Amino acid sequence: MHKDPQTPARTRNGDVLLFARNFFRHPRMLGSIVPSSRFLIKQLLQPINWARADVIVEYGPGVGGITAEVLRQMRPDATLIAIEMNPDFVKYLRSSFTDKRLRVVEGSAVSVDEILRRFGYARANYIISGIPFSTIPAPLRERILRKTCDVLESGGAFLVYQFSTRVLQDLKRVFGYVGRRFEPLNVLPAHLFICQPGTA
């Protein structure tokens, strides 16, 4: 564990209001009206071996609930690349977090390989995602999952939370191993998937 990063001087209410306002504006992009609970975040990040995690990528960080916890736990010399499509969230994250280990990129998860290369990396140890895959068109969803699998290092993992199990068959087709967990204390109750590359 490392000291608390320079997290935002902000109120939890401000987080929730920004998140909710964007949910009503872009419900298919977010999938939930409230940010992730601490129960979900703890269980989602549990598989990460922080001692070996040099490069972590987060898809759809939103208002940064998971981002803050990753920064709190990761090594001082590690890098977290947060890829967010919503410009409101990008602006919020950039103004709220001053931690030098964080790179906030406005873009799509489908460009993860290019974004990693932009920062001088070929692979990520872990990729974390809460983007609602069930609302993404199937061809784009497939490309995101395939690219994600391709850029994960051997022994790395794709850590996913969803509010339905609809993406499970896609995950099983692309990844060699898919483990499942369930977090009932989140609003909404969340399904967690731990995916690792391999011979599918």
pLDDT band at 20 (very low <50, low <70, confident <90, very high): very low
Give me the pLDDT at residue 15, please.
55
What are the tens digits of pLDDT across the range 30-76?
333 344 578 889 989 999 999 999 999 999 998 899 999 999 999 99
Name the E strands within the chain: 55-59, 79-84, 102-106, 124-129, 152-162, 177-183, 190-196
Q: Is the peptide bond before 188 cis (omega within 30 degrees of 0)?
A: yes
d(CA 18, CA 34): 10
What are the tens digits of pLDDT across the range 91-134?
999 999 999 999 999 999 999 999 999 999 999 999 999 898 98
148 versus 28: the higher-pLDDT residue is: 148
Tell me: pLDDT of 161 over 60: yes
Terminal-to-terminal C-alpha distance of the chain: 35
Closest CA to 126 of 37, 58, 200, 40: 58
Compute the average pLDDT of residues 11-36.
Answer: 44
d(CA 41, CA 97): 18
Give me the pLDDT at residue 182, please.
78
- Statement: the pTM of the whole predicted model exceeds 0.95: no
Which numeric CATH code is attached to 12-196?
3.40.50.150
Q: How many CB atoms lie within 10 A of CB 167?
A: 21
